[in-house]
Amino acid sequence: MLLFLVRKTLWAAATLAVASVLVFAALEIVPGDPAQVMLGINATDEAVSALRQDLGLNKPVLERYFSWVLGMLQGDFGKSYTYSVPVNELVADRVTISLPLALLSLFISTAIAIPVGLYAAARRGSLADTGIMALSQIGIAIPNFWFALLLVYFLAIWLQLVPAGGFPGWEAGFLIALKSLLLPAVSLALPQAAILSRVTRSALLETLGEDYIRTARAKGLSRRATIWKHALRNAMIPVLTILGLQFAYLLAGTIIIENVFYLPGLGRLVFQAISLRDLIVVESVVMMLVATIIVINLMVDLAYLWVDPRLRHRQS
Amino acid sequence: MLEIDKLNLTIGETPILKDISLSIEPGKILGIVGESGSGKSMTALSTMQLLPQGSTTSGSIRFNGRELLNADDELMQDMRGDDIAMIFQEPMTALNPVHTIGDQIAEGMMLHESSNKTAALERTRGLLERVGLPVSRFPLTRYPHELSGGQRQRVMIAMACAQKPELLIADEPTTALDVTLQAQILELLRSLVEEQNMGLILISHDLAVVAEMTDELLVMRNGEVVDRGQTEEILHHTNHPYTAQLAQASTHIPERNQPPVLTHLAREGGLAPLISASQLVRDYPTKRQSLFRAGSPFRAVDHVDVTVYPGQTMGLVGESGCGKSTLARMLLALDEPTSGTIQFKETELTNATSEQLTTARKNIQVVFQDPYSSFNPRHKVERLVAEPLYLESGIAESEKRDRAVAALEEVHLPASALDKYPHQFSGGQRQRIAIARALITRPALIIADEPVSALDVSIRAQVLDLLTELRERLGLAYIFISHDLSVVRALCDEVLVMEAGKIVEHGVASDIFDNPQSDAAKMLVEATPNLERALKNRRTATEK
Amino acid sequence: MTDFLKTALRNKSFATGFVITVIVVLMAVVSFLWTPYDVTDLDIGSKLKSPSWTHWFGTDHFGRDIFSMIMVGARNSIAVALVAVIIGVGFGVPIGCWAAARRGLLDEALMRGNDVIFAFPALLSAVMITAVFGPGAINAIIAIGIFNIPVFARLARGAALSLWPRDFIMAARSAGKSSTRITVEHIVPNMANLLIVQATIAFALGIIQEAGLAYVGLGTQPPLPSWGKMLNEAQTMMSFAPHMAIIPGLAIVITVLGLNLLGDGLRDVLDPRLTRKRD
């Protein structure tokens, strides 16, 4: 068990290291001088060489890479050129919007999808099952940002139930802030819930076909007890895998959804940075998101350990 | 106690069971025997009312006077596991992988006796002890994946017997196990029947197993009962032609017209060996023991010597995991030995040139166990049978087709088979196609890895006849790998007994079976169910 | 092939998906030859018209005919998603097969490489590529295509691993065939069904992802219309021209739904295991 834990953690660290090389390398292959790219073609030579100096572009590649990584490990993501503030200050504000948004939508999607998927599987072939499956088939096909636009149109513009967008800030009060995240979270969550409910349903159905389910029935357990005690935990194994993948999608999805709702999160920051050609900010935000995804995947791996005893090494 | 009367079962549109009637008394063992598709398992599942969806039944199944057929769920849930229990064939998948064995056994007690968990676990310990899994070595916190197949089947038995059921149904409980384990499990079942005075329905495809175990016997075929009666009676007199056919097929010995090729005679006659392996070793890396300790390699084959002479049939027997198949793969040059040498005629295979290897491969062909997975399902028979001709470069398509036709003729299949797909053939026919594929390069040696174990007895007999006939007509040598001693005895000149990677006995086939020397051979011979011996034992028992 | 279609069309999912997909593809093809209006024609006089007989789907804020834009946009969606699937299959399947054939360290290294790519959802790759090279349709193709590689590599590896120990592969090996030859002759044909099903799913996902990238300005650039970009332009006009947002969205949903149904249908039609289950 310890071996599994250590190995998974080491692999996650290695994946992170390779990913950081990829992100770093991407900026290395910028056609032309990064400093020139960032400043635009009208910049003076002095300004460019000053920025080169500032960014440390005159140092050898390896040295720059390691100082970048070391900096990140100490929480120093460098300085944004356009905003003239440390990147971590810029990011710190935005994260308090993007991360709660991703987590909230993950929560909503799981809370809807798993019960619905289990219900459909337990009543396989019934009218409810057919209806749920048809709905989820459509749900999968809906792009979340379009769904968001529809929600805005019907709930905010037509019925005027909620504000169409914007974020009052957490200091305006927890509930008020949460309310403004609710619509974005729902529009992210529902299409994901459609996928997750289908996965849950098919995982449970697959499990119900296993021999040990028949054993449990032969023991005298009712259908319901068999599902709860024997099928559920086994069915959660594939569901966990999808949950891990979904988090990556949700995180990427927040970047798009923030655009629909004018939320000042990481997504807005990144797009501003792209249009201002602030490569340092882009690099840092991408690296942070990638790191989050890798950490989440590691957590999913560890969750397997809890669900599936076959992965725990026998202590002999 | 249990009385089934005129049970009919249809799944979808397909009739599965027709007018099945049977009855069983406490303390008795009823055998249901039949080939695959005869409806044995469905009869059992009907009794448990655990039939697949879309089943319609008629007739009656009465248990202690209560009608079970279409009984409501609540009654059945009270009965299942408490009054009627069941053991399934596949011990590897019949236990839930995410729960401990203790919890899985105790679950039934808590359900049926509403006892608390501590008491249930306490009794579970006793039960495990009873089925031969002492708590000191097998604590209740073990998970199924930490146990072997035989141990898991013991857990299943403990689970089934936990409530002292009046009736136990065992559906092929030992088919997935080695013969020595089979003997132990059957013995355990028999003693539990006596101890608890329960009725046992034993379902099996193996006539010898039911002959040893049962009081009464039901022979099924295509969903119908064709013969029934006292076990001894119907197996001894075999009045019914189908029963007679089954009995004959399971003791079938192919006729041989040529004397066996024996090693010492071959050597004296100055015959050169066809293939000769010496001091073969194959190690496999194992999982790491812990973070700092690499696992010590697992030695699958341990300094093995094998020599086969032209025309000789060498049997290779041993329990699963003893290294038989690894050895075969090395002889086929599909796997490299860790050390040791393999010599085919004059060629040293371990450092042969690719040309030499091609020549050797033409001469050593293979037939596998499972006739369903040994063909690429997307290719037609012509391409499948001709595949080994890849070894002979520059053959025109028309010649390939001619050679494929010739090979099919050798195994008594018509040329029209060439344009069909493998799924259009039965298991026995597929095995013939597999033999044709092995023959097409006109080999000197065929390595057959359990070639008949997946087949029903009557088809098994036909394939054994074919192999014998080919040996005599084409002068083939065989290495015949099997866990089934009766098959090996029927076919082989000499036998190698393998245990834990080592050859522990080598000798003339009849000598080894009549007078085994090593412990491994003794155990195998003793544990192998044998119809004739079983009947003889019964007769002496009744005479006394 | 016609025989296959005949049996397959009896499957309801397949038939529905097939019809939808054919219609969308036809729209894209016809758009090269003919559209009701020229999509580059600005006609401010008839801007923001609701759907009518002259403009089936109405017009946008520049007076362009939305039906024509949907037709041309289909071209773009299909092209991007298709090329991305081809990238995924073209790199992923060989990688997966190679890893399965060799096993050992190479396998481990290739699969770890996959894990790294899995940490870069298409959107993040697109952000990086756009930051470095500037925006363009090609970014979307590369970003989505790269993410498709590990998807197909994992699928191919898993399928190949389950095929390698089968007896018919052993038979091919004992006929002296090399692992490359066996992969081409035996392994790939036997995983083709799985790959086809996954390809339709990846195609559908690609269309959604492309729309998302175009919506945030990381995909196709003006003047060519694309469904995602139409949604972006519609956003500020939601209150007075909702049809501008609803119609391109419906186009995406129907196309994706069609492809998913096609994939589900194919899975049922191609997988004989489902029909033979429980015997």
Tokens of residue C225, six digits: 């219309």
Q: Integer distance in angstroms from the first to the last C-alpha of chain B? A: 30
pLDDT value at residue C278: 30
Which of B257, B260, B235 has its CA nearest to residue B248? Answer: B235
> What is the SS3 assignment for C202?
helix
Q: What's the CA gap between B445 and B321, in Å, rounded?
A: 24
Which of B359, B360, B375, B356 has its CA nearest to residue B436? Answer: B375
Q: What's the CA gap between B295 and B282, in Å, rounded?
A: 16
Residue C223 preceded by cis peptide, ω within 30: yes
Q: What's the CA gap between B507 and B262, in Å, rounded?
A: 9
Residues near B513 by beta carbon (within 8 Å), at least 6 away in sequence: B485, B489, B495, B525
pLDDT value at residue C273: 47
Residues near B489 by beta carbon (within 8 Å), at least 6 away in sequence: B253, B509, B510, B513
User: Chain C residues with CB inside 8 Å of B368's CB?
Assistant: 167, 170-171
Complex ipTM value: 0.88
Residue C194 phi, psi dihedral angles, 5° rounding: -55, -45
Q: Are strands B66-67 and B502-508 parallel, antiparallel or unpaired?
A: unpaired
pLDDT of A38 > 80? The answer is no
Q: How many CB atoms lie within 10 A of CB C114?
A: 21
Average pLDDT over every residue of A253-279: 87
Q: What's the CA gap between B456 and B222, in Å, rounded?
A: 13
Q: How many CB atoms lie within 10 A of CB B72?
A: 8
Q: How many CB atoms lie within 10 A of CB B196?
A: 16
| Residues on C contacting A at a C-beta cutoff of 8 Å | 112-113, 115-116, 118-124, 127-133, 204, 208, 211-212, 215-217, 231, 234-235, 238-239, 242, 245-246, 249, 252-254, 256-257, 260-261, 264, 277-278
Tokens of residue A254, six digits: 């927040």
Flag if C189 and B378 touch (Cβ within 8 Å). Answer: yes
Tokens of residue A73, six digits: 């490990």
The listed range with the strongest mean pLDDT (A86-100, A267-281, C55-69, C145-159) is: C145-159
What burial class does residue B356 get, using C-beta atoms within 10 Å of its C-beta: 0-12 exposed, 13-18 middle, 19+ buried? middle
Where helices occur in chain A by DSSP H, the ranges are 2-28, 34-39, 45-55, 61-73, 87-122, 127-141, 144-151, 174-208, 211-218, 223-226, 232-261, 266-275, 279-307
- Contact with chain C for residue B373, Cβ under 8 A: yes
Task: Give the residue from chain C lying closest to B285, CA to CA.
Answer: C104
Residues near B416 by beta carbon (within 8 Å), at least 6 away in sequence: none
Tokens of residue B228, six digits: 């029934």
User: Chain A residues with CB inside 8 Å of C242's CB?
Assistant: 153
Beta carbons of B154 and B132 less than 8 angstroms apart: yes
Task: Give the residue from chain C lying closest to B11, CA to CA.
Answer: C279
Q: How many CB atoms lie within 10 A of CB B54?
A: 11
Predicted confidence (pLDDT) per residue in B445-486, tens digit = 999 998 888 888 888 899 999 999 999 999 999 999 988 888
Q: What's the CA gap between B121 and B139, in Å, rounded?
A: 11
Q: What is the DSSP code string of B334-351?
A: SS--SEEEEEETTEEGGG
User: Chain A residues with CB inside 8 Å of C233's CB?
Assistant: none
Predicted confidence (pLDDT) per residue in B353-392, tens digit = 888 999 999 999 999 988 788 899 889 999 999 999 998 8
Flag if B48 and A222 touch (Cβ within 8 Å). Answer: no
Residues 241-300 of B with CB under 8 A from C: none
pLDDT in tens, chain B (544 residues): 899 999 999 988 889 999 999 999 999 999 999 988 899 999 999 999 999 888 899 999 999 989 998 888 899 999 999 999 999 988 889 999 999 999 999 999 999 988 889 999 999 999 999 998 998 889 999 999 889 888 999 999 999 999 999 999 999 998 888 888 899 999 999 999 999 999 999 999 988 899 989 999 999 999 999 999 999 888 888 888 999 988 888 888 888 888 888 888 888 888 899 999 999 999 988 776 665 666 788 899 999 999 999 999 999 998 888 889 899 999 998 888 999 999 998 888 888 888 899 999 999 999 998 878 889 988 999 999 999 999 888 888 999 999 999 999 999 999 999 999 998 898 889 999 999 999 999 999 999 998 888 888 888 899 999 999 999 999 999 999 988 888 888 889 999 999 989 999 999 988 998 899 999 999 888 888 888 888 888 777 776 6
- Contact with chain C for residue A21, Cβ under 8 A: no
CA-based torsion, B86, B89, B93, B99: positive or negative: positive
User: Chain C residues with CB inside 8 Å of A214's CB?
Assistant: none
Q: What's the CA gap between C80 and B526, in Å, rounded?
A: 69
Predicted confidence (pLDDT) per residue in C243-259, tens digit = 888 999 999 999 999 99
Beta carbons of B111 and A220 less than 8 angstroms apart: yes
Distance set, CA B356 to CA B195, B351, C174, C221 (Å): 64, 10, 14, 63
DSSP B389: G
pLDDT of C277 > 50? The answer is no
Q: What's the CA gap between B231 and B208, in Å, rounded?
A: 11
Which of A30, A273, A293 is the closest to C119 by Cβ? Answer: A293
Beta carbons of B194 and B124 less than 8 angstroms apart: no
Q: Which chains touch C (3 or more CB pairs under 8 A)?
A: A, B
pLDDT value at residue C1: 65
Beta carbons of C167 and C110 less than 8 angstroms apart: no
Flag if B97 and A6 touch (Cβ within 8 Å). Answer: no
Which of C2, B96, B446 has its CA nearest to residue A215? Answer: B96
Tokens of residue B45, six digits: 């599942």
DSSP B259: -
Q: What's the CA gap between C256 and A8, in Å, rounded?
A: 36
Q: What's the CA gap between A170 and A89, in Å, rounded?
A: 17
User: Chain B residues with CB inside 8 Å of C194's CB?
Assistant: none
The CA-based diameter of chain A, rounded to the nearest angstrom, is 84
Tokens of residue B417, six digits: 């088979």
pLDDT of A226 > 90? The answer is yes
Where helices occur in chain C by DSSP H, the ranges are 2-8, 12-33, 66-102, 104-118, 122-133, 137-163, 167-174, 179-182, 188-215, 227-235, 243-270, 272-276
Flag if A310 and B82 touch (Cβ within 8 Å). Answer: no
Which of C119, C239, C264 is the closest to A19 by Cβ? Answer: C119
Instruction: Write down the residue that tokens 């099919």 correspond to.
Output: B408
Task: Give the residue from chain A lying closest to C204, CA to CA.
Answer: A141
pLDDT value at residue C279: 28
Flag if B81 and A211 touch (Cβ within 8 Å). Answer: no
Flag if B95 and A234 touch (Cβ within 8 Å). Answer: no
Q: What is the DSSP code string of B405-455?
A: HHHHHHTT--GGGGGS-GGGS-HHHHHHHHHHHHHTT--SEEEEESTTTTS
- Contact with chain A for residue B78, Cβ under 8 A: yes
**pLDDT band at C157, cuts 50/70/90?**
very high
Which of A28, A24, A29, A48 has its CA nearest to residue A38? Answer: A48
Query: What is the nearest CA distance from A187 to chain C, expressed in angstroms?
Result: 14
Which of C171, C185, C189 is the closest to B374 by Cβ? Answer: C171
What burial class does residue B74 get, using C-beta atoms within 10 Å of its C-beta: 0-12 exposed, 13-18 middle, 19+ buried? exposed
Identity of the residue numbered A281: V
Average pLDDT over every residue of A225-244: 90
Flag if A141 and C257 touch (Cβ within 8 Å). Answer: yes
Q: How many CB atoms lie within 10 A of CB A96?
A: 15
Task: Give the residue from chain A lying closest to B165, CA to CA.
Answer: A219
Which of B333, B358, B375 is the closest to C168 by Cβ? Answer: B375
